[in-house]
Chains A and B, each alone.
Chain A
Amino acid sequence: MTELVYAILLIPIAILIEGVRRKFIARMHNRDGPPILQPFYDIVKLFGKERYSHGNLIFELVPYLAVICSVFMLLVVPFSIFGFEFDFLLLGYIFILQDTFYIFGALASRSPFAMYASVRELLLMFGYEITFIIVLTLFFYGTGATSFQNYNTEFAFMQLPLVSLFLMFTAFIILRVTPYDVMTAEAEIGAGFFSEYSAKPLAILEIAEFIKDFVVYMLLGFLIVGKTYALILAPVFMIFYVIMLTSSPRYSTIVTAKTFLILALLAFADIVFLVI
Chain B
Amino acid sequence: MHTTIYPIGPQHPSLKEPIFLKLHVEGSRITKAEFNLGYAHRGVEKCAEGYTLDTALHAVQRTCGICSQCHSMAFLTTVEPLANIQPTEKVYLQRLIIAELERMHSHLLWAGIMAHEIGLETLFMYYMREREHVLDVFDELTGNRVHHSADLVGTMKRSFGKKELSMVIEKLGHIEAEVKELRGVMETDGIIASRFKKHGNITNKLAKTLGLVGPVARASGINYDVRQDAPYMAYKMKELRVKPVIRTEGDAWARTLVRCDEIFESMRLVRKACEMINPNEEIPVKKNFFVKEATGFGRVEAPRGENFHFVKIADNKIVRLKLRTPTLANLPAFSGLFEGEDITDVPVIVASLDPCISCMERVAVIKNGKQEIWTSHELFEGRKHD
A binds B: yes
- Which residues from chain A sit less than 8 Å from chain B, CB to CB? 25, 28-31, 112, 115-116, 119, 178-179, 181-182, 185-190, 246-255
Known: A112-B4, A116-B28. A252 touches B122 (CB 8 A): no
Cβ–Cβ contact B347 & A188, under 8 A = yes
Cβ–Cβ contact A249 & B118, under 8 A = yes
- Identify which of B116, B120, B189, B342 contacts A254 (C-beta below 8 A): B342
Alpha-carbon distance A174/B14, docked complex (angstroms): 24
Nearest-neighbour CB distance to chain A for B35, whole angstroms, equals: 17
> B194 to chain A: which residues have CB within 8 Å?
251-252, 255
Interface string of B112-124 (1 = CB under 8 A from A): 0001111111110
Cβ–Cβ contact A252 & B344, under 8 A = yes
Alpha-carbon distance A119/B194, docked complex (angstroms): 22
- Identify which of B4, B119, B122, B123 contacts A187 (C-beta below 8 A): B119
B242: Cβ under 8 A from any A Cβ: no
> A112 to chain B: which residues have CB within 8 Å?
4-7
Nearest-neighbour CB distance to chain B for A244, whole angstroms, equals: 11
> A179 to chain B: which residues have CB within 8 Å?
119, 191
Q: Which of B12-41 contact A (CB under 8 A)?
A: 12-14, 28
Nearest-neighbour CB distance to chain A for B116, whole angstroms, equals: 7
Question: Can you give 23 contacting A-B residue pairs, CB < 8 Å?
Answer: A25-B121, A30-B129, A112-B4, A116-B343, A178-B120, A179-B119, A186-B13, A186-B14, A187-B13, A187-B14, A187-B116, A187-B118, A188-B14, A188-B346, A188-B347, A190-B13, A248-B120, A249-B118, A249-B195, A251-B195, A252-B342, A252-B345, A254-B344
Alpha-carbon distance A76/B292, docked complex (angstroms): 86
B125: Cβ under 8 A from any A Cβ: yes
Q: Which residue of chain A lies nearest to B347 when distances are taken between CB atoms in the complex?
A: A187
B126: Cβ under 8 A from any A Cβ: yes
B192: Cβ under 8 A from any A Cβ: yes
Alpha-carbon distance A64/B116, docked complex (angstroms): 32
Cβ–Cβ contact A119 & B28, under 8 A = yes
Cβ–Cβ contact A251 & B122, under 8 A = no
Cβ–Cβ contact B191 & A250, under 8 A = yes
Known: A116-B28, A249-B118. A188 touches B195 (CB 8 A): no
- Which residues from chain B sit less than 8 Å from chain A, CB to CB? 4-7, 12-14, 28, 115-123, 125-126, 129, 189, 191-192, 194-195, 342-347
> B192 to chain A: which residues have CB within 8 Å?
249
> B14 to chain A: which residues have CB within 8 Å?
186-188
> B116 to chain A: which residues have CB within 8 Å?
187
Known: A119-B28, A255-B194. A246 touches B117 (CB 8 A): no
Nearest-neighbour CB distance to chain B for A239, whole angstroms, equals: 15
Alpha-carbon distance A119/B346, docked complex (angstroms): 17
Nearest-neighbour CB distance to chain A for B340, whole angstroms, equals: 14
Closest 10 CB pairs of A and B: A250-B119, A187-B347, A29-B125, A249-B120, A249-B118, A187-B14, A252-B344, A246-B122, A187-B117, A249-B191
Candidate in B4, B5, B28, B119 with the most chain A CB atoms within 10 angstroms = B119
Alpha-carbon distance A181/B13, docked complex (angstroms): 16
Candidate in A28, A119, A187, A250 with the most chain B CB atoms within 10 angstroms = A187
Nearest-neighbour CB distance to chain B for A248, whole angstroms, equals: 6
Alpha-carbon distance A211/B187, docked complex (angstroms): 38
Alpha-carbon distance A122/B342, docked complex (angstroms): 17
Q: Which residue of chain B lies nearest to A184 when distances are taken between CB atoms in the complex?
A: B119
Alpha-carbon distance A189/B192, docked complex (angstroms): 19
> A115 to chain B: which residues have CB within 8 Å?
4
Alpha-carbon distance A30/B192, docked complex (angstroms): 21
> A119 to chain B: which residues have CB within 8 Å?
28
Known: A250-B191, A252-B195. A188 touches B343 (CB 8 A): yes
- Identify which of A182, A185, A249 contacts B189 (C-beta below 8 A): A249
- Identify which of B4, B7, B126, B342 contacts A253 (C-beta below 8 A): B342
Alpha-carbon distance A119/B115, docked complex (angstroms): 25
> A188 to chain B: which residues have CB within 8 Å?
14, 343-344, 346-347
Known: A112-B4, A251-B194, A253-B28. A185 touches B119 (CB 8 A): yes
> A116 to chain B: which residues have CB within 8 Å?
6, 28, 343
Cβ–Cβ contact A247 & B13, under 8 A = no
> A31 to chain B: which residues have CB within 8 Å?
125
Alpha-carbon distance A219/B12, docked complex (angstroms): 36
> B119 to chain A: which residues have CB within 8 Å?
178-179, 181, 185-187, 249-250
Q: Which residue of chain A lies nearest to B27 when distances are taken between CB atoms in the complex?
A: A119
> B12 to chain A: which residues have CB within 8 Å?
190
Cβ–Cβ contact B191 & A248, under 8 A = yes
Alpha-carbon distance A152/B118, docked complex (angstroms): 42
Alpha-carbon distance A229/B210, docked complex (angstroms): 63
> A185 to chain B: which residues have CB within 8 Å?
119, 344
> A250 to chain B: which residues have CB within 8 Å?
118-120, 191, 195
- Identify which of A29, A30, A182, A190 contacts B344 (C-beta below 8 A): A182
Known: A187-B117, A187-B118, A248-B120. 8 other contacts (CB 8 A): A29-B122, A112-B6, A186-B14, A189-B343, A249-B123, A250-B195, A251-B195, A253-B342
Alpha-carbon distance A119/B25, docked complex (angstroms): 13
> A254 to chain B: which residues have CB within 8 Å?
342, 344
Q: Which residue of chain A lies nearest to B121 when distances are taken between CB atoms in the complex?
A: A29
Alpha-carbon distance A181/B7, docked complex (angstroms): 21
Q: Which residue of chain A lies nearest to B125 when distances are taken between CB atoms in the complex?
A: A29
> B345 to chain A: which residues have CB within 8 Å?
252
Alpha-carbon distance A222/B355, docked complex (angstroms): 49
Alpha-carbon distance A189/B344, docked complex (angstroms): 9
Alpha-carbon distance A112/B21, docked complex (angstroms): 14
Candidate in B4, B5, B343, B345 with the most chain A CB atoms within 10 angstroms = B343
Nearest-neighbour CB distance to chain A for B7, whole angstroms, equals: 7
Q: Which residue of chain B lies nearest to A28 when distances are taken between CB atoms in the complex?
A: B122
Q: Which residue of chain B lies nearest to A179 when distances are taken between CB atoms in the complex?
A: B191
Nearest-neighbour CB distance to chain B for A182, whole angstroms, equals: 7
